[in-house]
Chains A and B, each alone.
Chain A
Amino acid sequence: MSQIKLQNITKTYQVGEDALVAVQDVSLDIQSGDFISIVGHSGSGKTTLLSMIGGITTPTSGRISFEDTDLSAMGSDGLSEYRCRKIGFMFQFASLLPMLTVKENLLLPTMFVPEPERTYASKLDDKAAELLRSVGLLDKINAFPGQLSGGQQRRVAIARSFMNNPKLILADEPTGDLDEKTEQEMINFFKAMNRTEGITFVMVTHNSELARQTQRRLKMHQGSLQTLPSGE
Chain B
Amino acid sequence: MPERFTLSSLAIRNLRRRPLRTTILIAALTLMVAALVFALSFVMRVNASIQLTSERLGADLLIVPTGARGAAEDILVESHARSFYMDKSIIERIRKVAGIDKLSHQTYLVSLIGMCCSVPESMVVAFNQETDFVVKPWLKNKLGRNLRKGEAIVGEESAFNISLGLVETETQLFGSPFKMVGVLDKTGSGLDTAIFISDDNIEDIIKNSDAKIKADQISVIFAKIKKGADAYKVMSEIENNIVEVDVVMRKDIGKSLLSALGDIRKIFYFTMILSTILSLFLVWAIFTAIANERTREVGIMRALGAKEGHVVKLFLFEVLVLGAIGSIAGIIVGTSLAVLLAKNFSILKNLPIDIGMLSRLLIAAAGLLFGTGICVLGALSPLNRLKKLEPLIAIKQE
Contact = CB atoms under 8 A, between A and B. Distances in A.
Given A57-B390, A120-B1, A99 B17 contact: yes
A91 interface: yes
Interface stretch (A38-46, A65-73, A104-112, A219-227): A104-112
A134 interface: no
Interface in A72-121: 76-77, 80-81, 83-85, 89, 91, 95, 97, 99-100, 104, 107-109, 111-113, 120-121
B303 A57 contact: no
B231 to A, nearest CB: 66
Nearest to A56: B391
A54 interface: yes
Contact of B303 (A54, A81, A97, A113): A54
A79 to B, nearest CB: 9
Contacts of B300: 91, 95, 97
A17 to B, nearest CB: 20
B102 interface: no
A196 interface: no
Range class of the B interface residue count: 20 to 34
B301 interface: yes
Interface stretch (B64-72, B306-314, B329-337, B376-384): B306-314
B105 to A, nearest CB: 77
B13 interface: yes
B305 A121 contact: no
Interface stretch (B3-11, B37-45, B212-220): B3-11
B10 A100 contact: yes
B13 A111 contact: no
Contacts, number: 85
A111 B310 contact: yes
A84 to B, nearest CB: 2
B2 interface: yes
Given A83-B303, A100-B13, A111-B310, A121 B395 contact: no
Nearest to B294: A97
A108 B308 contact: no
B304 interface: yes
Interface string B277-308: 00000000000000000000101111111111
A51 B1 CA distance: 37
Interface in B353-373: none
Contacts of A81: 305, 307
B306 A112 contact: yes
B48 interface: no
Contact of B391 (A57, A84, A125): A57
A76 B4 CA distance: 26
Given A56-B299, A104-B5, 15 more contacts: A56-B303, A56-B390, A56-B395, A76-B307, A81-B305, A84-B305, A89-B304, A100-B13, A108-B10, A112-B301, A112-B304, A120-B1, A121-B5, A122-B2, A160-B304
Interface of B: 1-7, 10, 13-14, 16-17, 297, 299-310, 390-393, 395
10 pairs of A and B residues whose beta carbons are closest in the complex: A84-B305, A112-B305, A56-B391, A57-B392, A80-B307, A109-B304, A121-B4, A107-B5, A56-B392, A99-B13
28 contacts: A56-B390, A57-B391, A58-B390, A80-B302, A80-B307, A83-B303, A84-B304, A85-B305, A91-B300, A91-B303, A97-B301, A99-B13, A99-B16, A99-B17, A104-B10, A107-B5, A108-B10, A108-B304, A109-B304, A109-B305, A111-B5, A111-B6, A112-B307, A120-B1, A121-B1, A121-B2, A122-B1, A164-B305
